[in-house]
Amino acid sequence: MTSTVSGASNTARRAARSDTITRIGRVGLIAYGVVNLLIAFLAIKVATGESGGEEANKNGALSQVAETPFGQALLWIITIGLVALTVWQIAEAIWGHASAGDRRTIKRLTSAGEAALFGFLAFTAGKFAMGTPQHGSKTESLTGKLLEQPFGRALVVVLGLAIIGIAAFVVRRGWAKRFRDDLDLSHADARARRTAERLGQVGYMAVGVAYGVVGALVVTAAVTFDKEKASGLDGAMKTISDQPYGALLLWLVALGFICYGVYCFFDARYRKS
């Protein structure tokens, strides 16, 4: 029985980390980069007051893809790539990072978090590809449901602090260049290495700051008992825009998302397999 389970596990591992899954997963990383570039574009439209009701988040980015020629085909490519990327990262979370030493657990948890992120985005992209896009803030919906529960305000505070904690982890990952551990730059020239590092550093920190604002809005919703104050990335972008020098701040955040989007292309090329 034990040998059967072990054999099944080895088969699953080989399938999840196959060359085919890895190659399609790299396409998923490219797709994820495009999504972040579109978020940056929508953030700039918010900064210039030209958003026209479009959401500066992943839903808004996928809507932009859907409106292009061959949009549905592109959405299916994005979906398939992200599904493969999810499977790839699940395999890394379960079996990967054997050479990471003391940081093996942290890196596996990071892969698990990426798998959850890419899996959710694959699900959302699939909805768009099938013509049933999702609108509205998932954060606001979840916050509203939690506030209706016993001890709901405490639960929402915990949720908001968790988002802030994850955002801080992302910022630190960028500042300390921890993302380099995921890349194999041994065959890259010096210019490519420097570019990947700079883009990753700025990009991760900008994304972390944006989601830190999301977490702060969730905590504010709990304190004021107002679920409408909880919002996702789009609400965070608009909150940044409403601050003193908000347009400039939002341009900087958008620049950060551009850096992160382009970094994803380097990630697709140099991610360790």
Structure tokens at 74: 């592109």
Structure tokens at 127: 């909805």
Whole-number Å distance between alpha carbons of 238 and 4? 54
Q: What is residue 80's predicted lDDT score, i.e. its pLDDT? A: 92
Burial 251-265 (b: 16+ CB within 10 A, else e): bbbbbbbbbbbbbbb
Instruction: Give the distance between the most distant pair of CA atoms in the chain.
Output: 65
Residues above pLDDT 70, as percent of the chain = 82
Answer whether 234's CB lies under 8 Å from 57's CB.
yes
What one-letter code names the amino acid at 193? R
pLDDT at 48 over 60: yes
pLDDT at 205 over 90: yes
**pLDDT tens by residue, 56-88:** 778 778 888 888 888 888 899 999 999 988 988
Averaged over 194-199, what is the pLDDT? 95
Q: Helices 104-129 and 71-95 meet at what angle, rounded to 10?
A: 160
208: left (phi over 0), alpha (psi -120 to 50) or beta: alpha
Backbone angles phi, psi at 183, to 5 degrees: -110, 150
Please indicate, yes or no, whether the overall pTM of this predicted structure exceeds 0.85. Answer: no
Structure tokens at 152: 């709901």
Whole-number Å distance between alpha carbons of 95 and 239? 41
